[in-house]
Chains A and B, each alone.
Chain A
Amino acid sequence: MTKPPPPRELPPLTPPVFHILLALASEERHGYGIMQDVARQTAGTLQLGPGTLYGCLKRMLAAGFVEESDERPDPALDDERRRYYRMTALGQRAVRAEARRLHGAVVAAKTRLAGGIS
């Protein structure tokens, strides 16, 4: 399932996929943890719904960006078992590539917009 595609240019990522990868950059998380972290990253502007979150995770699993870790309860929440996800090396490359793309876009905007972007 996690067979990585042949190395070629990485496709641009949609905002939800980009932020999910960022959420998994430092540690593995379960679905709810990812959702909370994405809301924190974007100051609450991107609230992932269940369908969006698991739809993205399904495609990211198929693309080899993330892999499933084990299933265990989160001691901080309750004793329900939760499926954890972690980022793969390919996912790391994809998120770096996307960050570079976004950085390039910001630089272009800064030089062209009078008075900066703030």
Chain B
Amino acid sequence: MTPHSAHADAPSPMLASFGRIYSALLYAYPRDFRLQYGAAMQQLFRDRCRDLARSGPLAKLAFALQLAADWLVTSVREQAAACWTAGHKQTTRGFVTEWAVTLGIYLFVTTTLVQAYVIPTGSMEGTLRVGDHMLVDRVTYAQPGPLGARLLPYRELAHGDIVAFLYPEDTRMTYVKRLIGLPGDRIRMENRQVIRNGHPLLEPYTQHIALFPDAYRDDFPLAPEAETTPRGREMFEHHVLHGELTVPPGMLFVLGDNRENSLDSRYWGFVPRSYVVGKPLFVYWSYDAPTGDLKEWTFGHVVDVATHFFTKTRWDRTFLVPRSQAARELPAAGAAR
């Protein structure tokens, strides 16, 4: 291949990095196809990038989406065609290698960029309901390396973000809660009212439906009680001063929107920043089922879905997007520290 000519308008860094990703994605095609057409396909890619250099971000996004769809469909098609035509000519080993590479690339995309998740409990009720099946975007809240930071749309976590994370007491489980405290924040609650750094929060997203008061839950942080886990006790021991909790570096304090029916940081302590999985993107399917069925697919649940798919699906929740919502900080009360 001839080296790229010194063109007046060199590709932007973003397009150059897309070009590198694209050349890696070409490995999803069968070897023969790649050897014969790979260079020409990359050339076509560069030509399209040159066309797009001066167009807006929307056109670039459309190009990226079109390219992704083209890659997804044609790589499978060429793999299938290669198996079909080669038939007995192709060795088993070659066959296995080709498909393993393709599968590996698909798995990379589906496990690195998005993850499916279902809401098993009502702790976010009001915002998210039991049985909401959602896709979680794993990129936005990831902690980027030096290269990734410029390549993908990262964002720092902020107050009011809805966050999916590994449950610190059992990392096999993923929880979704609202982010209330970032490192350095001082948190306390007074009769269900969250007071952050001395400012009472006006939280439009919360739901208060409990009938009876519970001092531990409503006036956090008091002394630990039976429901407090060892991690929770540790939090009380080291991070509570003068009736206020201070969030340590690298940790997050999260609460459920269904404030009185939520087991959250009040009970089991902080979420390490590294446990954050991602940002809930949208609900793709909301199905009315009990908590037990949602944690694991049982035979009974399969039958239930098969027979009640149309009646128990909450159609109005399809494609619902849960939004980050910052609470308004009211002026500090007179007794603010």
The finding on whether chains A and B are genuine partners in a shared complex, rather than unrelated, reads yes
Listed stretches A77-85, A88-96, A98-106; interface member:
A77-85
Contacts of B78 in A (CB 8 A): 51, 55
The total of interchain contacts (Cβ-Cβ below 8 angstroms) comes to 61
Indicate if B92 sits at the interface (CB-CB under 8 A). no
**B22-58 interface with A by 8 A CB criterion:** 29, 33, 36-37, 40-45, 47-48
Q: Are the C-beta atoms of B77 and A79 separated by less than 8 Å?
A: no
**A48-70 interface with B by 8 A CB criterion:** 49-55, 57-58
Q: Are the C-beta atoms of B5 and A78 separated by less than 8 Å?
A: yes
Say what secondary structure dominates the interface of chain B.
helix
Q: Are the C-beta atoms of A49 and B71 separated by less than 8 Å?
A: yes
Contacts of A83 in B (CB 8 A): 40
Q: Are the C-beta atoms of B77 and A55 separated by less than 8 Å?
A: yes
Q: Are the C-beta atoms of A78 and B7 separated by less than 8 Å?
A: yes
Listed stretches B62-70, B174-182, B253-261, B275-283; interface member:
B62-70
Q: How many residues of B contact A (CB 8 A)?
A: 26
Name the one of B5, B48, B70 contacting A52, with C-beta atoms under 8 angstroms: B70
Tell me the minimal C-beta distance from A7 to chain B in angstroms.
Answer: 23
Q: Are the C-beta atoms of A51 and B70 separated by less than 8 Å?
A: yes
Q: Are the C-beta atoms of B71 and A51 separated by less than 8 Å?
A: yes
Chain A, residue nearest B76 (CB): A51
Contacts of B37 in A (CB 8 A): 54, 57-58
Q: Are the C-beta atoms of B44 and A80 separated by less than 8 Å?
A: no
Contacts of A31 in B (CB 8 A): 40, 43-44
Tell me the minimal C-beta distance from A118 to chain B in angstroms.
Answer: 28
Name the one of A49, A58, A78 contacting B69, with C-beta atoms under 8 angstroms: A49
The answer to whether residues A35 and B44 also contact, given A51-B71, A54-B37, A55-B78 and a CB cut-off of 8 A, is yes
Chain B, residue nearest A74 (CB): B47
Contacts of B70 in A (CB 8 A): 49-52
11 CB contacts below 8 A, A to B, read: A49-B70, A50-B40, A50-B45, A50-B67, A51-B73, A54-B37, A54-B40, A55-B74, A55-B78, A80-B4, A81-B2
